[in-house]
Amino acid sequence: MKKIKQPYLLCFFIALMLFPFMQPINTSAERAPLADISTLATVSSVEADGGFLEPVTDWFGSVGDSIENTIDGVEETVKGIVNYIGELIGTVDEAISSFSSGNTYSSDGVEEIQEKVNQADDLLKKIGIKPKSGEKIVYRVLPDKQDISEGIKARRPDRNMSIAGHVRNGSKENFKGSQFISTTKSFDVALDNARYDINNDRKPQDLRIVRIDLNKVTNKYYDLTDPEIQEKYLVTKAGKPFQMVRNYANSSQEVLVEKFIPKEAFELIGRPSEFMN
């Protein structure tokens, strides 16, 4: 009986462990380029996840409690740093394979995964990016010349550029700036952009990252991964999804803030060379 149940237990456990790693909106939007497919997939996947998690966690009962507690504690943070944790634990795929390939996965696997999650959690605490309760955190990589002593200013606050225009043109060499300030919900994206110049052949660099609490941002901001925001701002003239721009925004987990971020709303994390060592 125990042997029969073990694979099921394992499957549910993996699903539970991977839940925080899933970003259904992003994934579905990237895989479904056409308008109607994307919208449907997004809605259905979110609903399915919500319905799926509940019975699984109930079913696990006391066995899963300790794992759940760990996950609850890191869930918010992990959402934004999925790949980074992947790196820390030797990629998520490796974690899954090490978990599923062994025959003694029941207790050893749990301990191993718990240990790795704890390691990641410790590192997040160490570098000071673990969100406190109620915080809505995004990150921004600062160009070396940018002075943030008075806050973070948009390059061209006087412009009246469309949101889609900013996303489409922001990574181009000849971009002249806009009234928006780009930030990302993903620490992994911020870290990558801080370490490598993705607009210049991924040349190594070491730029500062700031951690911004959107609750303290006084101007309007737009979470471009939010399907409602996408429906409103990332559409073509014909009212259809502007899929290329949506996928750009999804891949970089982009949140745009209008014109200015007050200094009270952010704290400097530092350069990767400072907190990675």
Partner 1 sequence: MDQLTLLEHFIESEINLLVKLRMGNGMDEKEYENMKRSFSLLIEQWSDKDSIPQDAVQSVMEVCGELYNFSRNYSGEESERIRDAAANISTLRQKGLACDQISDKAKEKVMSSLMEQMEKGGGFFEKLQQGKGLDEEQFEEILEELTTIDDKIFFWDTMPKPLVRILISLYEMDLFVYKYEDEFQDQVEADKIYDAYERFFDLIVG
By beta-carbon proximity to partner 1, the closer residue of 65 and 197 is 197
Among 43, 96, 148, 235, binds partner 1 (CB under 8 A): 235
Site for partner 1 in 102-161 (CB under 8 A): 161
DSSP for residue 198: T
Residue 3: partners with Cβ closer than 8 Å, 6 or more residues away: none
By beta-carbon proximity to partner 1, the closer residue of 168 and 271 is 168
By beta-carbon proximity to partner 1, the closer residue of 74 and 194 is 194
CB of 121 to partner 1, least distance (A): 27
Residue 105: partners with Cβ closer than 8 Å, 6 or more residues away: 6, 10, 99
- State both tokens at 5: 């149940």
The span of 80-88, 128-136, 140-148, 236-244 binding partner 1 (CB under 8 A) equals 236-244
219 in Cβ contact with 137 (< 8 Å): no
Among 7, 33, 50, 128, binds partner 1 (CB under 8 A): 33
By beta-carbon proximity to partner 1, the closer residue of 152 and 234 is 234
Determine if residue 201 is left, alpha or beta; phi over 0 gives left, psi from -120 to 50 gives alpha, anything else beta: left
CB of 31 to partner 1, least distance (A): 8
Among 39, 70, 169, 219, binds partner 1 (CB under 8 A): 169
CB of 238 to partner 1, least distance (A): 4
By beta-carbon proximity to partner 1, the closer residue of 202 and 263 is 202
169 in Cβ contact with 65 (< 8 Å): no
Instruction: Tell whether residue 28 is a contact of partner 1 (CB under 8 A).
Output: no
Instruction: Tell whether residue 252 is a contact of partner 1 (CB under 8 A).
Output: yes
Cα 62 to Cα 75: distance, rounded to the nearest angstrom: 19
> Apex CA 273: angle with CA 267 and CA 274, to 5°?
50
By beta-carbon proximity to partner 1, the closer residue of 37 and 89 is 37
Site for partner 1 in 197-226 (CB under 8 A): 197-202
Residue 199: partners with Cβ closer than 8 Å, 6 or more residues away: 171, 173
By beta-carbon proximity to partner 1, the closer residue of 20 and 241 is 241
Cα 151 to Cα 217: distance, rounded to the nearest angstrom: 11
253 in Cβ contact with 225 (< 8 Å): yes
Distances (CA, A) of 79 to 18, 19, 111, 181, 186: 11, 10, 22, 22, 7
Instruction: Tell whether residue 87 is a contact of partner 1 (CB under 8 A).
Output: no
CB of 203 to partner 1, least distance (A): 9
Residues lying near partner 1 in the complex (CB under 8 A) are found at 30-34, 161-162, 164-165, 168-169, 171-174, 176, 192, 196-202, 235-240, 242-244, 247-248, 251-252
